[in-house]
Amino acid sequence: MSELRENQIESSDDELPEEVAFHASKSAALKSVKDALEAAKREKNLLKEKRKKRQQLFQEQKKRKLLPQELLEEFDKEPKKQTGPSDNKGINKKVSTKPSDNNKDKTKTGTTPKKISKSLPDSYRVTRIKDESTAKSLQEKAMDFIQSRLYGPGTKRTTNAELLSLKKKRGASQGAAVEFANKKLGASQKARIARSNKRFIRQQKLIPL
C-alpha cells in the first residue's frame, strides 16, 4: 500500500508542471485577446473623434460662407413690391366688374385711356453686347480696308517734291525740279525762288487759276 501511494504522489508531481504551463498559456492568450480588443476600441474612438472634429470644421466653414442673420432679417422685413399673376388677375376682375363713372364717360365718348410708357431716362441707353461687338468688328474691318488701300504695300505713294521733280523731268521743257528756299539765303534770292516756283506750277497747271 505504501508503495502505491508513493507511486501516485510521484505521478501527480510529474503532471503539475504541464497544468501550470497550460494555465499560463491560457492567461497569456486571454490577455493578448483583451489587449487586441482594447486597441481596436481605442482606434475606433480615435476615428470617431477625427470625424467629429472634421464635421465641426465643415459646419464652421459653412457658417462663414452664409450671410449674417441680421442681414437676412432685414430682407425679410422689407415689403414685397412685386405682385404675382394671381393678384393681377384679381385686380383686373374687380376693375372690370365695377367700372367707375369716368370709365363710363370715356366709353361713351369713344376715347380710351393712354398707356403710361415706362421709358428710361435720356442719359441711359439699352444695347445688347452682341450688337455692340458686331458693330465694332464691322468698324474695324472698314478701317483695315481703308488702311490697306491707302497705305498698303500695293499702293504707289510719293511725296509732293518727288511728283514735281518727275513732272519737270518728263515734261516738254525739262529742267530742275522745284527749288526750295534755304533759310540762310537772302531776301532777294528767296523772292526769286518763290517766283520761279509759282511760274513752274502755273505752267504745269498743277493748281487751277
Domains of the chain by residue range: 2-68, 129-158, 159-209
In this prediction, residue 43 carries a pLDDT of 92
Question: What does the block give as the cell for 159?
Answer: 511725296
In this prediction, residue 99 carries a pLDDT of 47
* 168 touches 200 (CB < 8 A): yes
10-residue mean pLDDT series, the chain (209 residues): 55 55 80 90 92 86 67 63 51 48 50 52 67 77 85 74 76 64 67 82 65
DSSP 172: S
Residue 36's identity, in one-letter code, is A
**pLDDT, tens digit (0-9, with 9 covering 90-100), for 147-156:** 888 777 777 7
SS3 category, 178: coil
How far is 168 from 176, CA to CA, in rounded Å?
7
Task: Please list, in sequence order, all residues whose beta carbon lies within 8 angstroms of the beta carbon of residue 30, skipping any fewer than 6 positions away.
Answer: none
* 168 touches 175 (CB < 8 A): yes
Angle, CA 185 vertex, CA 183 and CA 186 arms, to 5°: 115
pTM above 0.85, yes or no: no
Task: Please list, in sequence order, all residues whose beta carbon lies within 8 angstroms of the beta carbon of residue 97, skipping any fewer than 6 positions away.
Answer: none
* 163 touches 156 (CB < 8 A): no
Q: In whole angstroms, how far apart are CA 198 and each of 176, 179, 193?
A: 14, 11, 9
Q: In whole angstroms, how far apart are CA 7 and each of 1, 2, 13, 16, 19?
A: 10, 9, 10, 15, 19
In this prediction, residue 209 carries a pLDDT of 46
Q: State whether the Cα torsion 49-50-51-57 is positive or negative.
A: positive
How many other C-beta atoms can be found within 10 angstroms of the C-beta atom of residue 196? 14
How far is 192 from 203, CA to CA, in rounded Å?
17
